[in-house]
A and B are shown apart, each in its own frame.
Chain A
Amino acid sequence: MSGRTLSVRSQARTRPTRGRRVRERGPARRSIRPRRVLDLLRRVSEVLETVVDPEVAAWSVLVAYTAGEGLGFNRAFLLLAEGGQIRGWFGVGPRSREEARELWADLRQRGVLPLDRLTEPDLEAVEEERKRHAATLAALSHDLVTGCGVWRRAFIGRSNHPNPCVRHWVAVLDSRELVVVPLMAGSQPWGVVLADNFVTHAPAYHGTLEAAETLAHYLRAALERTQLLLRFQEEKRRRMLAEHATALLDTARTLAHDLKNPLALAGGLAREIMSAPTADRESFTRRLGIVATAVTRAEQRVAELVAGLASRADGISLGPVEVGALAERVTEAFRPLAASRQVRLLCYHPGRPVMAAAAIPSLDRCLENLLANALEALGETGGEIQVAVRDEPPWVLLVVADNGLPLPAPLRVDPFAGGITTRRGGSGLGLASVRTLAEAMGGKVEYDETEPGWVRFTLFLRRWS
């Protein structure tokens, strides 16, 4: 979905146009029905519960502000107070009257209802929407002067408002009536949501302002939660990097000894043999034997260290795992559920043991998540899931393929990023944990849809040597 399409969706009008001339409609209803408000608040709150990205949270609430089946404003902006400034952070809606006409007409023609799109946000489109409003958001940014943002209730600001911030926003947006919804943190300004009907000039009524206030508070809670989550994830990432660096250093030191020792020996003896060739065949053969043994030892240490490094990095203890037997066992556990959904579940593996360096609980979890994801994709309509184990040195491949729904667009960018709520992939955390676990075992996971009609996840595990 393009950013342009997103704007269109975010500006959908619910009532069809009946006249010959396309009328521009904003929140022109005289009052917003309480039942409708409650329904809107319920829908938005359900969406925000699962959102893990601050931009998606902002986009969701501002779409609710601007959707025809929402509060019906023409456009809306979120500004956040940061370090003595109130900074434009996100915006939704058309940028001009011409753009509004074009977009709303397109929406009507396609019969798109923006609120329906909230459950499946297109991350690229959200980012695009933010970029589209970048200039306006920059212009809205302002130094926090006394009294700016310190309001308890939503109000309508005009060009003669006593507060310079409000006058600045009204001027930037060229707005006749600007709805200002303040968000306070104690006695300090936290942010503000601005909304207006710059195209339709429809008035905003008391009920709409109240609903706008409630939505803004939902947004603040969602932003605080998602930003905290991001900080937590960043902290976790940093900690993991530090632990990985320590593990690497430790491994480098071990390498210095365990690899350098046999290599120095092999190289030293080889030099001796070259510089002072001996006529004694027995002595020559013995020295050559020492060289060969030292090189073999170095090779073995490399393999052990690779596996050891992976396990040290995440505290997982790796050992030899027979992947075929594991795949058979986990697949068998899913068979009753698959049968109840008319899903054909097949498991292929070589007859001989295929050993990978892995941890059984981690590999169990990976396969369970991939199977659950495949079953979810097939839904109630049935289909087929194929699990296959292949020995492709230096890897052991564990493949899970299904002929269900393709991955939704937001997930295709990075199916393993996590945090995107879609029907296929659930919270997205299942696939994210597959990647985390695969990498912790020194492996990786890849996704492809190269075979038409099939979605395939391939887990690469290091072959046990």
Chain B
Amino acid sequence: MTASRLLFVDDEEGFLELYRTAFSRDGYAVETTGTIEGARDRLAQGGIDLVVLDIRLGEVSGLALLREIKAKHSGLPVVLSTAYARYQDDFSSWLADAYVVKSSELGELKQAVRRCLGAAR
């Protein structure tokens, strides 16, 4: 069985390193990018099964990318991951398939990824 391919979008290289290590060990194929442009390019190539998206990407909001993904790749599940719980108030964030507040414990994020992938299949 082919491993699910996850795309992590976060402007902080440290988190990308963390996700690469933790999710690779769980058997996922992990790709990472720190910018919206990088995410767009990678998604255009196809083959991504799920996106984990940080809401605040430097000075840019990841919610714009979320809207774009849902418009162009409607079946692609997106998990929002951020430290800023306030973004839950933004209606745009409701488009996401799951919402996870960043934590040093990755259990919740892993569970959300599994759930969303299961639902997509």
**Is B106 within 8 A of A256, CB to CB?**
no
Contact of B105 among A253, A265, A271, A290 (CB under 8 A): A271
Residue of B18, B25, B85 ringed by the most chain A CB atoms within 10 A: B18
B22 cross-chain contacts in A, Cβ below 8 A: 268, 272
- Closest-by-CB residue of A relative to B56 is A257
Query: What is the minimal beta-carbon distance from B26 to any residue of chain A, in angstroms?
Result: 11
Complex contact B105–A261 (CB within 8 A): no
How far is the CB of A286 from the nearest CB of chain B, in Å?
8
Q: A257-B56, A276-B21 are in contact. Are A268 and B106 (CB under 8 A)?
A: yes
Within 8 A of B (CB), among A245-264: 253, 256-258, 260-261, 263-264
- A268–B86 contact, CB under 8 A? no
Is residue B111 within 8 Å, beta carbon to beta carbon, of the partner chain?
no
Q: How far is the CB of B37 from chain A (nearest CB, A)?
A: 22
Interface contact A264-B103, CB-CB below 8 Å: yes
- Give the residues in chain B near A266, CB-CB below 8 Å: 104
Q: Which of B17, B25, B84, B105 has a CB less than 8 Å from the CB of A257?
A: B84
**A256, A257, A268 — which one has the most chain B CB atoms within 10 A of its CB?**
A268
Q: In the complex the two chains form, is A293's CB within 8 Å of B14's CB?
A: yes
Question: Is B86 within 8 A of A253, CB to CB?
Answer: yes
A306 at the interface (CB under 8 A from B): no
Q: Within residues 47 to 89 of chain B, which ones have a CB less than 8 A from any CB in chain A?
A: 56, 82-86
Given A257-B56, A271-B104, the answer on whether A265 and B18 have CB atoms closer than 8 Å is yes
Residues in B neighbouring A269, C-beta threshold 8 A: 14, 17-18
CB of A193 within 8 A of chain B? Answer: no
Chain B contacts for A286, CB-based, 8 A: 17
Query: Given the interface contacts A256-B83, A257-B83, A293-B14, does A264 sit within 8 Å of B104 by beta carbon?
Result: yes
| Contact (Cβ within 8 A) B86 A264 | no
The verdict on A264 contacting B17 (CB below 8 Å), with A253-B84, A256-B85 known, is no
Q: How many residue pairs bridge A and B at CB < 8 Å?
A: 60
| Residues of B close to A353: CB separation below 8 A | none
Bits for B20-37, please: 1 = Cβ < 8 Å to A, else 0.
011001000000000000
Q: Are B83 and A294 in contact (CB under 8 A)?
A: no
Say how far A18's CB is from chain B's closest CB, in angstroms.
82
Q: Answer whether residue A221 sits at the interface, using C-beta atoms and an 8 A cutoff.
A: no
Residues of chain A lying within 8 A (CB to CB) of residue B101: 260
Give the distance to chain A from B99, nearest Cβ to Cβ, in Å. 14
Q: Which residue of B lies closest to A266 (CB)?
A: B104
Instruction: Find the A residue at minimum CB distance from B84.
Output: A257
In the complex, whether A270 has a CB less than 8 A from a CB of chain B is yes
- Chain A residues bordering chain B, tally (CB within 8 A): 22
Chain A, residue nearest B102 (CB): A264
B85 touches A290 (CB 8 A): no
- Give the contacting residue for A276; candidates B25, B83, B84; CB below 8 A: B25
A268 x B104 contact (CB < 8 A):
yes
Please tell me which one of the listed residues A260, A263, A268 contacts residue B18 in the complex, with CB atoms under 8 A apart: A268
User: Could you say which of A264, A267, A293 contacts B83, with CB atoms under 8 Å apart?
Assistant: A264
A267 to B12, CA, bound (A): 15
The docked-state distance in angstroms from the alpha carbon of A94 to that of B113 is 82
Return the chain A residue nearest B19 by Cβ: A268
- State whether B17 touches A287 (Cβ < 8 A): yes
> B56: which A residues are within 8 A, CB to CB?
257
- Residue of B whose beta carbon sits closest to that of A291: B14
Residues of A within 8 A of B17 (CB): 269, 286-287, 290
Q: With A266-B104, A268-B106, A271-B105 as known contacts, state yes or no: A261 contacts B83, CB within 8 Å.
A: yes
Closest to B101 in A: A260
Q: How far is the CB of B77 from chain A (nearest CB, A)?
A: 22
The complex places the Cα of A265 from the Cα of B21 at a distance, in Å, of: 13
| Cβ contacts under 8 Å, B12 to chain A | 261, 265
Which residues of B sit under 8 angstroms from A263, Cβ to Cβ? 104
Contact A256 B15 (CB under 8 A): no
Q: Which residues of B contact A264 (CB under 8 A)?
A: 83, 102-104
| B18 surroundings in chain A (CB, below 8 A) | 265, 268-269, 272
Closest residue of A by beta carbon distance from B55: A257
Cβ of A290: which chain B residues have Cβ within 8 Å of it?
Answer: 13-14, 17
With A269-B17, A272-B22 as contacts: A256 and B105 at CB distance below 8 Å: no
Interface residues of B in 83-121 (CB under 8 A from A): 83-86, 101-106
A-B residue pairs in contact (CB < 8 Å), sample of 18 = A253-B84, A253-B86, A256-B86, A257-B56, A257-B84, A260-B103, A261-B102, A264-B83, A264-B102, A265-B14, A265-B104, A267-B103, A269-B14, A269-B17, A269-B18, A287-B17, A287-B21, A294-B14
Known A257-B56, A257-B83, A260-B102; further 13 A-B contacts with Cβ < 8 A: A261-B12, A265-B14, A265-B15, A267-B103, A267-B105, A268-B105, A268-B106, A271-B104, A272-B18, A272-B22, A276-B25, A286-B17, A287-B21
Residues on A facing B (Cβ under 8 Å): 253, 256-258, 260-261, 263-272, 276, 286-287, 290, 293-294
